[in-house]
Chain A
Amino acid sequence: MSLEEHKLEIFRGLIKFKSNEQKIWGVLIFLSIVTIIEVALGIIKPDFLSVYFMRMKLLNWIFVILTLVKAYYITWDFMHMRDEKSSLKNSIVLPLVILIPYLVFILFLEADYIFDVMFEGFVSWNF
């Protein structure tokens, strides 16, 4: 792969780097900022974010979304997915994007059901 093949824009062209090496440092700064935000939120745990949304705290939703953002930039810029053909991108990302949410959906729904059974059942779990 030659130098010209690297795509040097991130944030949909908002920031354009001069070289691949510069882009790497730029992405590192971005990932560090996201991690610092995560850790700060994890330590402070602001009260207004402990509202429940779809049976999970808003704070936890923020953590999950920030993690997916980080995963995107690690894959796209560190693993050079941005420079690959779209056929390769799709054949790697699509199976994961389809299978993992499916697994999450089924198992979490079942776990919630089991919790309800144990919570409302006549068996004491705390003795």
Chain B
Amino acid sequence: MEVSVSKSYEEANVWEGGDQKPLNAGYGKLMMWFFIVSDALTFSGFLVSYGFSRFKFIDSWPIADEVFTHFPFLHGVDAPMYYVALMTFILIFSSVTMVLAVDAGHHMNKSRTAFYMFLTIIGGAIFVGSQAWEWKNFIKGEYGAVETRGGQILQFLSAEEKKRVSLSDFAIGIPTERSTQNKNDGIWFKTEKSLPEFSIDEVKKGFKANPNILIRIQKIDENGDKIVLSRDESLMKIDSAILVVEGANLVRNEYGNPLFADFFFFITGFHGFHVFSGVVLNIIIFFNIILGTYEKRGHYDMVEKVGLYWHFVDLVWVFVFTFFYLV
């Protein structure tokens, strides 16, 4: 009895799930599925909490179409969503090359598997780069805004065209001695964050001098547009402004509610980290294919397992795309 047990233990490839594969799937593949289930629950937790904050501030949430309007090499062109749509296609396409690699692996075709793996890696790298560019634009901001004592964001519009104007279009410079404090001056040897391009007084002065500028507040009307104040209301509102906000970070966000920026950084950052890890895993598998590891092993199951992870990353992006950019 003991002999037969140890013999079958030796014979069975434990990592393949032994002689009798549970659920007809190898050990590694089953574990990858379990990981995907738990990771799917993590991501749904994040996305649902995003939805929670959004429904909580349903009448003042930023409009994504106005936030992500950039496209590479098209400066100043209003191109909402085109770039994210492109990113979605890149990721879906790299999913396709991945599944083609898995298919080529089933046919034990080493060179084709390696070729498709290579394309997958390229697609993943382009996607991570695109996400970095998207972050850069979001952090840098576009028009600038001011924040009130209550933490509300006020944005500026031109009265005739109803188009956004940036702070530099109307702010009037006031000569000042104030400069960014650096480590080498002052007694506490601390560096402060770089000052915004204009101080709040300069923005207020410019706003009062220019009658063509109106204020747009965070609240949304019945049609889903941000409410624009009249000139008189705007003049009253500007007095409560205390801070110039340029771009977005974890504390302030020129596009509106800071929670929007927090969730954007956290969820797309977590997803981008998944893509990055996926690219690293793909590179390892790619070199193993080139070295002939799986040729010797007799099967390309590892390609299939890493493929499952890669498709999952694509799947998560489909949801992130919908809930951050479309809805």
Contact = CB atoms under 8 A, between A and B. Distances in A.
Given A74-B314, A88-B33, A127-B149, A42 B55 contact: no
Given A50-B224, A108-B51, A32 B315 contact: no
B52 interface: yes
B164 interface: no
A41 to B, nearest CB: 8
B152 to A, nearest CB: 6
Contacts, number: 143
A23 B82 CA distance: 28
B81 to A, nearest CB: 6
Interface residues of A, number: 55
Contacts of B106: 1-3
Nearest to B319: A67
Contact of B318 (A50, A67, A77, A99): A67
A53 interface: no
B53 A111 contact: yes
A74 B55 contact: no
Interface in A33-51: 35, 38-39, 41-43, 50
B99 A64 contact: no
Interface string B7-48: 000000000000000011100001001001100110011001
Chain A binding surface SS class: helix
Nearest to B149: A127
Contacts of B49: 107
B170 interface: no
Interface in A90-111: 91-92, 95-96, 99-100, 103-104, 107-108, 110-111
Most buried by B among A20, A25, A41, A119: A20
B59 to A, nearest CB: 7
Nearest to A95: B37
A17 interface: no
8 contacts: A39-B82, A64-B327, A67-B322, A80-B304, A100-B41, A111-B52, A115-B58, A127-B240
Given A74-B311, A107-B49, A124-B150, 20 more contacts: A3-B106, A24-B96, A24-B103, A25-B96, A35-B88, A38-B322, A63-B326, A64-B322, A74-B315, A77-B99, A78-B95, A78-B314, A79-B308, A88-B30, A92-B36, A99-B41, A107-B52, A118-B56, A126-B150, A126-B218
Interface of A: 1-3, 20-21, 24-25, 28, 31-32, 35, 38-39, 41-43, 50, 60, 63-64, 66-67, 70-71, 74-75, 77-80, 84-85, 87-88, 91-92, 95-96, 99-100, 103-104, 107-108, 110-112, 114-115, 118-119, 124-127
Closest 10 CB pairs of A and B: A111-B55, A127-B150, A88-B23, A67-B322, A111-B52, A39-B85, A107-B52, A111-B56, A78-B311, A63-B326
